[in-house]
Amino acid sequence: MGIYFDEKRSVFRLSTEHTAYFIGITDGKYVGHAYYGGPMEDCGCGYLMRAGEKPKPPSENPWEKASFADSYPFEYPAWGVGDYRESCLCVRTEGGHRCAELFYESHRIVSGKPGLPGLPATFEREGGGEAETLEIVCKDPVLGLKAVLRYSIFGDSDALARSVTLTNEGEENLYLEKVLSACLEMDNEGYELLTLNGSWARERHMEFSKLRHGFQGVESLRGVSSHQAQPFLALTTPDVGQDRGEVYAFHFVYSGNFSARAELTQFDTVRMTMGIHPDGFEWTLAPGESFTAPEVVCVYSDRGLGAMTRTFHDLYRNHLIRSPYLHRKRPVLINNWEATYFDFDKERLLEIARRAKEDGVEMLVMDDGWFGKRDNEHCSLGDWQVNERKLPGGLRALSEELKAMGMKFGIWLEPEMVSRDSELYREHPDWAIRIPGREPAMSRGQYILDLSRPEAADYVYQAVSAVLRSADISYVKWDMNRQMTDIGSAYLGREHQGELCHRYVLGVYRLQERLLREFPDLLLENCTSGGGRFDPGMLYYSPQIWCSDNTDAAERLRIQEGTALLYPLSAIGAHVSICPNHVNGRVTPFETRGYVALGGTFGYELDVVRLSDEERQAMRDQIALYHKYQELVREGDYYRIASVRENHEFDCYLAAAKDGSEALVTYVQETARSNYHSRRIRLAGLLPKERYVCTETGEEFSGELLMRGGLLVPPLPGDHAAKLWHFVKK
């Protein structure tokens, strides 16, 4: 593994254990993509760029430079000189012209992984010592623009992290109209496009579609990465499965507007791109200034989707999530939202806490409605003063009573917002994102604070930190409940309005960074009306993210399958809630809801006071399971065994210890089957030659028998019935 430059051939090689990535330089100027795939050492692969074919490169055929640009596999294509495929860069000059052309200038290979200013990014943990970074410096001499293309690899990962920094070395302003972060060129192999799409309460459903000529992809222009699309794109060979087929995946470490596209070209090559969405974006780069585009994580697998998934999981656990809770047991929490909505007071919360404590719950999370005069969703965001009518004695009194009963205390906040009906808005209407002369569109009665404005960002910080200092608060659910419209800032000048969406995201990052610096032990859970900002960017700040407002176990299987395609189970906020489910009215067994929530962070979102004795006993049993299995789920390898999305009958996945010593299998059926024999499922992630005992039944199996022969699942009575098996190596 490592990065190597073959000087004779002008080829760079970046190797990880199971992959290799080659970049070539043509004519001493053009930086092109030669190969990305399984491990390969031979740097003679530069011919794969086809620069020797017609049209020959400009040094040999200056009469056809435009045709050369039309097909050359640029590593970082720019707009304006004959490459008509998706470009990564579009620059306007003061003269109003749009064109850029980047030529190789120099490079360096450095050990380690540099951070990106103000942005979340993968990093090398202290003492890691095995990350390496290639920086290729390119220049456009006419614009005076320098571009540093950055590629990092890690000693323990098959992922590649890419980013780009642009610097204006000229004397005039440059206007960046488009700055994507990564591009990948390849020949088409009958690829299919894999994306994760959805909506509120239906986030991240996996979807495959055949690649056709032209552009296709996913995007968000909502100011957040969104419920509708995940900043992820993969090309898969048609035979792809969990353990077969090839996958090229891009995942964006960013939480705002994005574009992820694949383009099948006239020559049957494919170009994949990813970056900040160019619509509405413009960044003024004054002389001497730099702009860094966020990181894209690239993963290649020739061992199917399963290997891709585990590469992402390990990369994020080892090199992205910074929280001290990463490897810690998270407290079992109960959140009062679905139990009370806005209708609660201190006594009601304490009653819930007392009962929940008896059943083994460790933390009460007080959700929306504790501040200002907030008895509904239309007011008080921004007025972060406790409502003493509901909570006499304030947060301190509540937290102390909880502490006295042995419960931790967590709190809900929606810091990026301001209600139209709030003191804050009445005082500072110009702190809301809006366009002068236009009535901004409300959503949930609220506007978004302009976090590009330092006083607004500082107010938010002071308000949130004052809340956290006022009581013993262990956990924050940081919510964000509307999408961006009327994009204008009364703070930014005319030339900077196109920067607002990105500056807003940077503002969110800055706030959370600052908060975690002051409260390093805080367990932060990000949330955006459920899973509307579930992205690697937020994971850099919070080790867990609320996955969806939909807590129905049956739908959660699909949502959690798509989420776990990329994110470790330790990051997936999952709770048991009441039935009929508040989102879709479905009724599922209490036991099943618990098993499904065990595939995430685990907790409760219900009125424990109204549970039957039987349900409370089930709750105690579930919590015991959580204590037993949480470490395995948090630290283990995830294997998808079967998907209800594909078979419409049942879902099955497992968490296996990295050393093969144990595994927890979760099986949930969609509908009960009449008069069938047992169903055979083949496990994965075990050691074939070892023997395993099923801790529920005492039965013994070899690893190979469970993986090749399979496990027999007896017919289970009832729709949505579920079962867990725990296997331990003898």
Task: Mark whether 549 is an active-site residue.
Answer: yes
Residues 523-582 within binding reach of ligand GLA (CB under 6 A): 527, 529-530, 546, 549
Of 577 and 630, which CB lies nearer to ligand GLA in the complex structure?
577
Return the number of other C-beta atoms located less than 10 Å from residue 451's C-beta: 25
Task: Supply the minimum distance, in Å, between the C-beta of residue 407 and ligand GLA.
Answer: 19
Burial class (CB in 10 A: 0-12, 13-18, 19+), 494: exposed
Catalytic residue among 83, 158, 479, 607: 479
**Amino acid in position 452:** S
- Separation of alpha carbons 616 and 608, rounded Å: 8
Q: Which of 367, 535, 549, 552 is catalytic?
A: 549
Task: Annotate each residue in 607-646 with x if it binds ligand GLA (CB under 6 A) or - if it does not, as one string.
Answer: ----------------------------------------
- Residue showing the smallest CB distance to ligand GLA in the complex: 368
**Shorter beta-carbon distance to ligand GLA: residue 272 or 381:** 381
Count of residues that interact with ligand GLA, criterion CB under 6 A:
12
Neighbouring-strand partners of residue 718 = none
Compute the least distance from the CB of residue 197 to ligand GLA, in Å.
Answer: 19
Please, which residue, 245 or 543, has the CB nearer to ligand GLA? Answer: 543
Least Å distance, CB 526 to ligand GLA, is 10
368 lies in the binding site for ligand GLA (CB under 6 A):
yes
Contacting residue, 367, 383, 416, 421, with ligand GLA by CB under 6 A: 367
- 337 binding ligand GLA? (CB under 6 A): yes
In terms of phi and psi (left: phi > 0; alpha: psi -120 to 50; beta: otherwise), the region of 268 is left
Q: Which stretch binds ligand GLA (CB under 6 A): 30-38, 125-133, 522-530, 614-622?
A: 522-530
> Strand 603-605 and strand 576-577: pairing?
parallel
Shortest spacing between CB 368 and ligand GLA, in angstroms? 3
Q: Please report how close the Cβ of residue 494 comes to ligand GLA at its closest, in angstroms.
A: 35
Output the smallest distance, CB 483 to ligand GLA, in A: 13
User: Smaller CB distance to ligand GLA: residue 301 or 526?
Assistant: 526
Give the residue with the Cβ less far from ligand GLA, 306 or 573. Answer: 573
Specify the residue, 91 or 366, whose C-beta has the smaller distance to ligand GLA: 366
DSSP 707: I
Minimum Å gap between C-beta 417 and ligand GLA is: 10
Of residues 474-513, which lie at the interface with ligand GLA (CB under 6 A)? 479, 481
Q: How far is CA 710 from each of CA 304, 672, 689, rounded to the nearest angstrom?
A: 20, 21, 15
Closest CB to ligand GLA among 143 and 413?
413
136, β-bridge pairs: 107, 149
In the residue annotation, 479 being an active-site residue is answered as: yes
Contact string (CB under 6 A) for ligand GLA, positions 447-476, x = contact: ------------------------------
Exposure pattern of 250-266 as b/e (b: 16+ CB <10 Å)?
A: bbbbbbbbbbbbbbbbe
DSSP element (H, E) containing 408: strand 408-413
Q: How far is CA 114 from CA 121, 489, 542, in A?
A: 9, 32, 21
Q: Which is nearer to ligand GLA, 239 or 343 (CB)?
A: 343
DSSP string, 99-114: ----EEEEEEEEES--
DSSP E strands in 94-173: the ranges are 103-111, 132-140, 145-153, 159-168
CA 348 to the chain's CA centroid:
35
Per-residue tokens: 287: 């002389």
Residues of this chain, 370-389, that bind ligand GLA according to CB under 6 A: 377
Based on the shown chain and the rule CB under 6 A, indicate whether residue 57 belongs to the binding site for ligand GLA. Answer: no
Tokens 């999981």 sit on residue: 313
Collapsing DSSP to helix, strand or coil, 626 comes out as helix
Give the alpha-carbon dihedral of 492, 495, 498, 504, to 10 degrees. -20
Kindly state the smallest distance separating residue 369's Cβ from ligand GLA, in Å: 8
Q: CB neighbours of 554 closer than 8 A, spacing ≥ 6?
A: 586, 588, 668, 670, 720
Helix/strand/coil for 592? helix
Burial class (CB in 10 A: 0-12, 13-18, 19+), 275: buried
Give the residue numbers annotated as catalytic, written as ranges: 479, 549
For ligand GLA, the binding residues (CB under 6 A) are 337, 367-368, 377, 412, 479, 481, 527, 529-530, 546, 549
